[in-house]
Amino acid sequence: MTIATLDQYIDAVKEVETWVKGASITTVAGIPFTVFDQVGQPGAGALNIGNTANGLVPDDTVAGYPLIASFGGAAGYFSGIDFSNSVACRISLFDRLFAAGAYAFNANTVLASQPSFAGRVPNANYNGLQIWVEHVTAFTGNPSFQINYLDQDGLAGDSGVFAEIPASVLIRRACQIPLAAGDSGVSQITQVRSTVCSAGTWNVMVLRPLWSGRIPVANSGDVHDLLRTGLPQIFDTSALFALITADSTASGYPGLQIEIAH
């Protein structure tokens, strides 16, 4: 059963997932960083995906992602969030649908037998899904990436060569890779390439955006209800994954209380 009315939301089962990080990392102002490998609740996950040939579809049972209770066959929705941080920043929340790596600084890898993430794409609509890269180790030099993929309609796409800006070579830096002109989503990663650098490793990811919230002042936060989250559908296997874009050079101590209604 879907949630289509306020009465249905009021009657729905609700659970709250806690996502808190207890360590601050070095960042670059205005650039997204992952804190996936930092201590907190849930515990630290591994930056290195551990599969370069095919990639993986992470779920909530993997270390680093909040464990979501079974919906028992019902539809689930991201219905609210209470968020804060010790630094001014933007926090962005995603369902991490696919990840592969860690690739070397000079990788040129054709993926094969990629697992499908179709079960976590509502209504088989791949529009809006994004390609990101994530630094697993720091780079020497400024990396360029090129990702081949299947677009929202299953047609071949090519990002072209995308060069990161000079300040972005740190470990844990994340960067969205633009899609080819006319493409609006991605259904599979088919080939990954990187050039220019002499050291460094990285992951490629397919992320489904769920929410983004701005914290304009340090040691503050906000609460967004279903009208501000937009009530996107999520799944009891969703791998909830956050990126921090700080105003300064530290990620701070971010915390999320995520409400899921089903």
What pLDDT is recorded for position 96?
98
- Contact status, residue 139 vs residue 82, Cβ threshold 8 Å: no
Q: How far apart are the first and last CA of the chain?
A: 8
Q: What are phi and psi of 208, to 5 degrees?
A: -105, 110
C-alpha 236/C-alpha 262 separation (Å) is 10
Longest dimension (CA), the chain: 58
- pLDDT digits 0-9 by tens, 228-237: 999 999 999 9
- pLDDT digits 0-9 by tens, 57-101: 999 999 999 999 999 888 899 999 999 999 999 999 999 999 999
What's the pTM value of the predicted model, to 2 decimals?
0.95
Average pLDDT over residues 158-166: 90
Compute the radius of gyration of the chain from its Cα atoms.
Answer: 18
Average pLDDT over residues 30-59: 97
| Banded model confidence at residue 9, pLDDT cuts 50, 70, 90 | confident
The continuous run of DSSP H or E covering 229 comes out as helix 226-229
Mention every residue, 6+ apart, whose C-beta is less than 8 A from residue 202: 101, 102, 103, 105, 133, 134, 135, 136, 139, 143, 145, 194
Rounded to the nearest integer, the mean pLDDT of the chain is 95
- Contact status, residue 41 vs residue 18, Cβ threshold 8 Å: yes
| Banded model confidence at residue 167, pLDDT cuts 50, 70, 90 | low
